Amino acid sequence: EDKVVQSPLSLVVHEGDTVTLNCSYEVTNFRSLLWYKQEKKAPTFLFMLTSSGIEKKSGRLSSILDKKELFSILNITATQTGDSAVYLCAKGGNKLVFGAGTILRVKS
């Protein structure tokens, strides 16, 4: 059975800090790994990673995939209070398999 594990479960930082969120996976038929941000209800899409070693970047957020070691990281630099959310990673495909998420709280 496919398994996605995220760490840490929760994190509290101060504005301006840099954070790294981790996602490891054990899956069959890997196609992609996705990152979502969930603030109140709807998870919003951040990144889709399919190739190892290629960094995806959007503003202060970036993510990279290591297909050999079966993990991905999501980095957020210069954090802001608006980054407070649950960050979810998921194995892609017909059926997304999600981790439990990392709760990030950014204090001002």
Q: For another protein, which is the closer residue by CB, 9 or 78?
A: 9
- DSSP character at residue 68: T
Nearest approach, Cβ of residue 15 and another protein (Å) = 25
3-state SS assignment for residue 81: helix
Return d(Cα 40, Cα 91) in angstroms, integer: 22
Q: How far is the CB of 74 from another protein (least distance, A)?
A: 15
In angstroms, rounded to a whole number, what is the distance separating the alpha carbons of residues 48 and 56?
8
The least CB distance from residue 81 to another protein, in Å, is 22
Which residues of this chain interact with another protein, rule CB under 8 A? 4, 31-32, 34, 36, 41-45, 48, 50, 88, 90, 92-101
